[in-house]
Amino acid sequence: MVTSRIWFTREQKAELWERWKQGQSISSISRALDRRTKGGVQRIVSLHGGIAPSARRRAASALELGEREEISRGIAAGLAIRAIARSLGRSPSTISREISRNGGAQAYRGTRADKQAWQRALRPKQCRLACSGRLKWRVAQKLALQWSPEQIAGWLKRAYPGDPSMRISHEAIYRSLFIQSRGVLKKELTAHLRTKRQMRLGKGAQSNRTGQGQILDMVSIRERPAEAEDPAIPGHWEGDLLTGANDTNIVTLVERHSRFTMLVKLARRDSATVVAALAEKIGTLPQELRRSLTWDQGKEMARHKSFTVATDLQVYFCDPRSPWQRGSNENTNGLLRQYFPRTTNFSQVPQAQLDSVALRLNQRPRKTLDFETPADRLHKVLQ
């Protein structure tokens, strides 16, 4: 049995992509568009790798439908090409070419000529990877080594500083992976991505799903202000829980600029307890040291909105299984294991002992600070 292809109107495609960007599933989009099966929506989304195609626009200099209708009427009235051109404010050569490429004066019809012009304009420009075999080889090589597209784009700038032909954005790499119709990068390379994702998901795809373990209304690290990426700007913190025996925990906080460390004792790990203890500790800091807090997606920060209201400190959440996005905090947690091995029962460790260990770390010279101590670096900020 042969089934006919499912067609979508321009309006339906626009609604499809808008819903996809909001994070709706293919099944729900199909229902909203009154489709009995999800195959049609799946085909369109897969064809474009989950990336909404750019809206087509007519070139500013191109003839419009109304002008082509005027040309058709002018021909029917027996007007000369120059007369038609004057009435439209166009060059006679433009009108002459328009008539010639659409069958001549006898066959010219405005609506048909406009439709054919729109179809002829479907000549997609080759992407950068398709134009440069050397760049394509380098990108594929690094993807096979499990480098992220962002790491590849940054490395190319450093490796080829004087060669603009060896530059590409991470977004262009993702598009070449997800949009297979480009025929540039093999689809198998997506298996080397951290998420192994086959297509782009909408920004709301994660936050709209309220399944078990999901934190509601969390703000992604990708929305963190640019200044937070600059370790030269103080006041941006990274936080996490350090776990000990019998599921006991403490909070570890590290200031990115100075690597200054604070430790907070917890009675329990529930969100209310963690948020209250954090808010109390952050409240002791001067305003210039309260800019942002980056955390992983642990449920202990489920009440992050209450924390933000209490401290005026926005919380940004890392991607799942991405500890390198809190590199300073992860490194500090490793240093803390010298004092608190995994067998430590934190319920028996008083806050005074935590403060003593934090002071020892803060007075230790750090190579990353040119062997300055975190305490001295932070003191300079507060002067």
pLDDT digits (tens, 9 = 90+) for 12-31: 777 777 777 777 777 777 77
Residues 183 and 227 in one domain: no
Q: What is the rounded CA–CA span in Å between residue 204 and residue 159? A: 35
pLDDT of residue 198: 56
Q: Which is more confident, 226 or 36?
A: 226
Residues 103 and 250 in one domain: no
Q: How far apart are the first and last CA of the chain?
A: 80
Q: Is 159 helix (H, G, I), strand (E, B) or coil?
A: helix
Residues 243 and 286 in one domain: yes
Residues 102 and 31 in one domain: no
Give the residue carrying structure tokens 């594929």.
140
Mean pLDDT, range 348-352, rounded to an integer:
95
Report if residue 267 sits inside a domain: yes
* Domain count of the fold of the chain: 4
Residue type, 75: I
Report if residue 132 sits inside a domain: yes
Indicate the pLDDT class of residue 206, thresholds 50, 70 and 90: very low
Q: What are the Cα distances from residue 129, in Å, to 11, 47, 135, 169, 185?
A: 32, 19, 6, 11, 8
Residue 90 has pLDDT above 80, yes or no: yes
Burial 341-378 (b: 16+ CB within 10 A, else e): eeebebbebeeeebeebbeebbeeebeeeeeebbbebb
pLDDT of residue 140: 82
Residues 234 and 351 in one domain: yes
Report if residue 251 sits inside a domain: yes
For residue 282, which of 238, 244, 319 has the smallest C-alpha distance?
238
Share of the chain above pLDDT 70, in %: 82
Q: Across 35-39, 145-149, 325-329, which has the greatest mean pLDDT?
A: 325-329
Residue type, 130: A
Residue type, 351: Q
Residue 1 has pLDDT above 60, yes or no: no
pLDDT of residue 65: 87
Instruction: Give how far the C-alpha of residue 252 lies from the chain's centroid of Cα atoms, to the nearest Å.
Output: 28
Q: Which is more confident, 126 or 101?
A: 101
Mean pLDDT, range 192-210, rounded to an integer:
52
Q: What is the rounded CA–CA span in Å between residue 170 and residue 153? A: 6
Asked if residues 117 and 62 have their Cβ atoms less than 8 Å apart, the reply is yes
Residues 165 and 85 in one domain: no
Residues 153 and 266 in one domain: no
pLDDT of residue 325: 87
29: Cα within 13 Å, side-chain hemisphere: 26
Give the strand pairing for 249-255 and 261-265. antiparallel
321 contacts: CB under 8 Å, gap ≥ 6? 194
Per the rule left: phi > 0, alpha: psi between -120 and 50, beta: everything else, 103 is: left
Report if residue 212 sits inside a domain: no
Residues 159 and 225 in one domain: no
Residues 156 and 286 in one domain: no
Q: 164-176: per-residue pLDDT in tens? A: 888 888 877 777 7
Q: Across 76-90, 147-161, 227-241, which has the greatest mean pLDDT?
A: 76-90
Q: Print the domain residue range for 331.
A: 219-382
Q: What is the rounded CA–CA span in Å between residue 251 and residue 36? A: 51
Report if residue 54 sits inside a domain: no
Task: Among 61-65, 85-89, 282-286, 331-335, name the one with the lowest average pLDDT.
Answer: 61-65
Residue type, 70: E
Residues 227 and 170 in one domain: no
Residue 357 has pLDDT above 70, yes or no: yes
Burial 256-278 (b: 16+ CB within 10 A, else e): bbbbbbbbbbbeeeebeebbbbb
Residue 334, number of CB atoms within 10 A of its CB: 9
Q: 245-302: per-residue pLDDT in tens? A: 998 999 999 999 999 999 999 999 999 999 999 999 999 998 889 999 999 988 899 9
Q: What is the rounded CA–CA span in Å between residue 149 and residue 246? A: 40
